[in-house]
Structure 1
Amino acid sequence: MTTIARAIRSALLTADPRAKCFATRQVARDWRKGALTWEFDVAMPDQPAWPDAPELLAPGQMPKRRKGGSERGRIALWHSLAHIEFVAIDLALDMAGRFGAEMGREFVSDFMDVAADEAMHFALLARKLEQLGSHYGALPAHAGLWEAAHATRDDVAARLAVVPMVLEARGLDVTPATLDRVRASGDEGGAKILTRILDDEIRHVAAGTKHFLRCAQLTQSEPESLWQNLVKRHFKGHVKPPFNDSARLAAGLSRGFYAEIAH
């Protein structure tokens, strides 16, 4: 029987996007069925395997997306979203594989569910791009999305603070406006995809927040202060308004965490 660590590592080292989605969902199914042994006998890679395309660019080199409803602008939007979800697969897999031995079975189960969701989101977005006559990899993409994982590779509390509670929480803030624009353009199919992603991301942020609160309890730390200190230390960007306070609160992330350090 394969170990959970080896199964996760194999999915992380799968470069082809479609194959990574299949591998991720298979690992999640095998874990739920009890077909993987509880053993962390291999280390996670410093960086997952990625396809040759898209070309990854530094944030300052990324072309500006044109506002408006042009076909090119719509493709750029969906491609950007697809890339975010593709990297999110690896972020969730790495979370479970890197910190699972330390954090336990519930932690692994939660983040394997997150990984399976992200694989499904990517598949929906890749299909949307194909419907628009494009494909994932056709445009350059943001190179910095893995940086937060690498910077927090040795500290589960820092990883939880930055990835689910900053990066994914930011998705809760910006997705409703994108959803409104997509729906206003008459793209009801695209609106359904974004609605599904938004609903799932609330659960993802909730999972991260739950396990972060456990880390704070184990270290006898005040959760909000611990979160703020870790974000200041490990997150290069800014925690920026406007905030979707209701969605954040539904995920257990109250304003007490982020209001004081918001820019």
Structure 2
Amino acid sequence: MHPRLRALQALVLSDPDQKVAATRALAADCARLPADDPLWRQPVRADGDAAGVPGRPGRPLRVGARDVPTRSPFTEEGRAALVHAICHIEFNAINLALDAFWRFDGMPAAYYHDWLRVADEEALHFTLIHGHLQAMGWRYGDFPGHDGLWTMCEKTAGDVVARMALVPRTLEARGLDATPLIQAKLARVGTPDARAASAILDIILRDEIGHVAVGNRWYAWLCERAGLAPLAHYRRLYREHQAPRLKPPFNLQARAQAGFTEAELQALVADAG
């Protein structure tokens, strides 16, 4: 079976453990395929194949971002809710990466290799953070979660340029800003479970810089191919798809490592002012 159709099979799985296993097996198998294998040029999309995308468990209860209860990390349940929120993001990130890999025909082989690597790393992140949540006595689904990441995925389903602009380099890039703030809170808590969560976030932040870089790389490539001015086109897509407003503080160092240009970083700060 074509690797991208296998990705679709993984994408529609609702059980998190099964999705993780299918994603990691696919990534391992594709690692042995040469980058110039002609199969990457084969179109795989067909009418109606998006039915059931994405597969998600019945829980957590999905609510609006403003309806997620706020809990203090200085309580055990509050820390569990915080870890669960990260778990929810990582589960959605598996779906986002699999969807980017499966959905868009006609991209270079390197694009598919990039997004499958991202899916594999997101599956690892979910495994790490869910394992920690379970060690705390909870499981994925025990707290509500918001649906903002997948909502933008749906909005950009018909436009790979918009997808690269608004998912990895907008929504996922917010994680680069948020992670140090979360780690600062956990450091103030100082409990063993807080320190363990922060160590996992070190791994996630390191890899997420690379994931945002993938979005930046392919957004720039697509803009060049289409003759688009990247910054001006980004602003148009941002307004058109009603992306959430980006608020400081920004992790400018991590964003620079992820491939944002100096002009983009200056515009980010100026637009938020």
TM-score by length of 1: 0.93
In 1: Cα distance, 2:157 partner to 2:246 partner: 21
Instruction: Give 3-state SS (helix, strand or coil) of 2:84's partner.
Output: helix
Q: What amino acid is aligned across from residue 189 of structure 1 in structure 2?
A: A
In structure 2, the partner of 1:96 is 101
In structure 2, the partner of 1:251 is 258
| Equivalent of residue 60 in structure 1, options 45, 49, 66 | 66
In 1: Cα distance, 2:208 partner to 2:155 partner: 22
Distance 1:242-1:214 versus aligned 2 partners, 3 A rule: same
Equivalenced residues, count: 260
In structure 2, the partner of 1:16 is 15
In 1: Cα distance, 2:236 partner to 2:160 partner: 14
1:66 Cα deviation after fit? 2.0
1:260 Cα deviation after fit? 4.2
In 1: Cα distance, 2:33 partner to 2:119 partner: 17
The two structures, once aligned, show a CA RMSD in angstroms of 1.7
In 1: Cα distance, 2:73 partner to 2:108 partner: 47
**Among the aligned pairs, what percent are the same residue?**
36
In 2: Cα distance, 1:7 partner to 1:233 partner: 32
Deviations 1:54-94 (A, max 9, x none): 1111223322x222410010010000000000000000010
Instruction: Give 3-state SS (helix, strand or coil) of 2:31's partner.
Output: helix
| Equivalent of residue 238 in structure 1, options 232, 240, 245 | 245
In 2: Cα distance, 1:217 partner to 1:81 partner: 34
In 2: Cα distance, 1:210 partner to 1:163 partner: 13
In 2: Cα distance, 1:157 partner to 1:137 partner: 32
In 2: Cα distance, 1:11 partner to 1:68 partner: 34
Deviations 1:158-195 (A, max 9, x none): 00010111111100001011112223324332121000
In 2: Cα distance, 1:175 partner to 1:60 partner: 19
* Structure 1: gaps (5+ residues): none
- In the TM superposition, 1:1-263 aligns within 5 A as 2-34=1-33, 37-38=39-40, 39-43=42-46, 45=50, 47-63=53-69, 65-99=70-104, 101-184=105-188, 185-186=190-191, 187-257=194-264, 258-262=268-272
TM-score by length of 2: 0.90
* Structure 2: gaps (5+ residues): none
In 1: Cα distance, 2:82 partner to 2:254 partner: 22
Deviations 1:232-257 (A, max 9, x none): 21133112211111100111113522
Deviations 1:20-74 (A, max 9, x none): 00111111112111299433334452531111111111223322x2224100100
